[in-house]
Each structure stands twice: as C-alpha cells, then as structure tokens.
Amino acid sequence: SGLEEDVKKTIGENPVVVYSKTWCSYSSEVKSLFKRLGVNPHVVELDQLGSQGSELQKTLESLTGQRTVPNVFIGSKHIGGCSDTVKLHQQGKLESLLSEAGAV
C-alpha cells in the first residue's frame, strides 16, 4: 500500500526513526534519550497528521505487530517501544546498534 511504501522509504533513508505523539511522555522519553546519545532521530508525530496519523499507526501495526507509540526503528530494524529501547541501553547494546546504523 502507499503508506507501507512510505514507512519502508522513511526507515530506509533515516538511521533512526521514531513514530511518536507530541503529547506522550513515553514518546518524549525515547526522543530525549536519543538526543542525549548525540543522535538526531527522524520523528513522525502521528497526532499532527490528522486522519493519516491513525492510518499510519495501523500500517505500522501490520508491519511490526506493534500498535503503540513510540515505535522505534534503527538501521531499518524494528526495535520496539520506549521500554525496549531503554532496556537495550541498560544492556549496553544501544550505542553499537546506533553506530552500526551510521547514526553516531
């Protein structure tokens, strides 16, 4: 579908992508974690896209099995949500994923 192609293009062209909502603290947490690590994520704020936002959220669910935000990709690989990303960082694995993806 058009939106599926959009997502694949976005995650292919950007080492770090966060599908987010502007009002959501879990989304803010993951965005600031990346900034603290010197990464400038490509952020898509789903709540600012009107009806396309919920369409995109459904597309992400069919692509990744995850219907929640934040939805994080590194090097085109689906990472998960806020807790998944924080856990990878606590395990010392996040920074190597980021450098492999050319994000840092």
Ligand X SMILES: N[C@@H](CCC(=O)N[C@@H](CS)C(=O)NCC(=O)O)C(=O)O
Return residues touching ligand FES (CB under 6 A): 24-26
Contact 44, 56 (CB under 8 A): yes
79 is an interface residue for its own copies by CB under 8 A:
no
Among 11, 82, 94, 97, binds its own copies (CB under 8 A): 82
Q: Which is nearer to its own copies, 1 or 23 (CB)?
A: 23
Taking CA atoms, 23 is separated from 13, 56, 69, 75, in Å, by: 26, 17, 11, 26
Pairing state between β 42-45 and 71-74: unpaired
Which parts of 59-88 interact with ligand X (CB under 6 A)? 68-70, 81-83
Q: Which is nearer to its own copies, 10 or 26 (CB)?
A: 26
